[in-house]
Amino acid sequence: MVNALAFRVTGLAALAAVAVLADAAVGPLAAAGGTPGVHEDRIVFGQSAALSGPAQQLGRDMRLGIRAAFREANAAGGVHGRKLRLTTLNDSYEPKLAFANTQRLLQADMVFALIGEVGTPTSRAAAPVAQDAGAPFLAPFTGAEFLRDPKLDKVLNLRASYYQETEEMVARLTEDLGVARIAVFYQNDSFGEAGLEGVRRALKRRNMSPVAAWSYERNTTGVKPALLGMIESEPEAVIMVGAYSPVAELVVLARRKVDPVFMSVSFVGSEALLAELGADGAGLYITQVVPAPYDDGVPVVAAYREALAGYDPDASPGFVSLEGYLAGRLAVAGLEACGRAVSRACFLDAFRTVGVFDLDGFKLDYGPGDNQGSDAVFVTVIGEDGELHQVDTLADPR
């Protein structure tokens, strides 16, 4: 039985969680040895992610990157002779659907592991289900601190945390620009609260506190109360912890009245935000937790771009699909460490014993009590050319 974080789902909600099969239909039966999702010729992973609604581009891009990595591995013969498959269910960025999807993936579809869950509130609903089932919960697209709890020994985080992202934001604002008045715009749920707490902690270390904080409701673009508060409090900078649609709405409306420095955490989905903002995006900073997807000088990025083109020649590279690709590569690395005798226990132990996984130069370091692979945080800015550029300082003239 799942713990108190899980909750009952109505039949209508469960019905809405429609499966999207990635590469081929897969059966629910386990192969020899009884390990769920492990068959003689394939290993099946499951994903619950937003494929509809205001955050759908995040789910679609994570799925795209994972599929590209799996296709790359399959084209090379698979992992120890087994091909990798992905079953994705749509949760529309709603916790109830994420919970129902995770139950279905583990109990009916009998997948080997969960990969690429998108979001904090959805992960809060799904991770306990995986933990109780003994199934790996790999590379969720969130930096929420609760997923870094060593007690969650089935969770394997790829990315840096929101606390690390917001620390970098506050450091750059105060050290590079001398900003003192920092406000927070956040989603009114566990995701936004995690980012807000990260900002508060970073400011407290500098004997500061937010001058204001405003929220909006998940899966909406109701930002006008925040806009009014911004006009009244006149912050020098606003750190935004939200999805791309409400963040874009706030920036477009705000810049008609005020012009603080805007910074957003990585979950926003940079490419989706660019598409929403258009010319209004120039000067907006976004922290990232993976290398720039346009930098072919980074070996893993070059591999990603080749794999992406091989899977979908029309797909444009982006930060979210790169993170999905890295998640897929991490799954491959864990399976390779197990050899042919794959089990969930072996897969999880690989991360505690192997320690460092080098994905073409992007290193992930795990160990006993440490379920987060990367601490890297990068800063990008939308330039006047409408493109993202990586910067070392906010004083960069770009």
Helices 162-176 and 190-204: crossing angle, nearest 10°?
40
Rounded to an integer, the average pLDDT of 334-340 is: 95
CATH for the 162-288+378-391 domain, from 3.90.110.10, 3.40.50.2300, 3.90.70.10, 1.10.15.40: 3.40.50.2300
Centroid of chain to Cα 13: 23
* Stretch 66-86: mean pLDDT: 98
Residue 379 φ/ψ, nearest 5 degrees: -115, 130
Scanning 17-107, the segments in alpha helix (DSSP H) are 56-75, 95-103
Residue 238 CB neighbours (<10 A): 27
Burial (CB < 10 A; 0-12, 13-18, 19+), residue 46, is buried
Instruction: Please choose, from the candidates 180, 389, 360, 387, the residue with its C-alpha nearest in 3D space to the C-alpha of residue 288.
Output: 389
Beta bridge partners of 233: none
**pLDDT for 264-304, tens place per residue?**
999 999 999 999 998 789 999 999 999 999 988 899 999 99
pLDDT at residue 158 greater than cutoff 70: yes
Per-residue tokens: 150:
């060593």
Please determine, for residue 361, whether its predicted confidence score (pLDDT) is greater than 80: yes
pLDDT at 355: 81
Distance CA 203, CA 322 (A): 31
CA distance 162 to 375: 10
Instruction: Find the mean pLDDT for residues 341-361.
Output: 93
Architecture of domain 11-159+297-365: 3-Layer(aba) Sandwich (3.40)
Q: Where in the chain is the domain with CATH 3.40.50.2300?
A: 11-159+297-365, 162-288+378-391
From the centroid of its chain, how far is CA 289?
Answer: 9
- 246-274 per-position pLDDT tens digit: 999 999 999 999 999 999 999 999 999 99
Convert the pLDDT of each residue in 304-314 to its tens digit: 999 999 999 99
C-alpha span between 14 and 8 (Å, rounded): 10
CB 336 within 8 A of CB 346: no
CA atoms within 13 A of residue 180's CA, in its CB half-sphere: 1
Sheet holding 261-264, edge to edge: 212-216, 182-187, 237-241, 261-264, 285-288, 378-382, 388-391
* Residue 162 pLDDT: 97
3-class state of residue 377 by DSSP = coil
pTM: 0.90
**Number of neighbours of residue 201 by Cβ within 10 angstroms:** 14
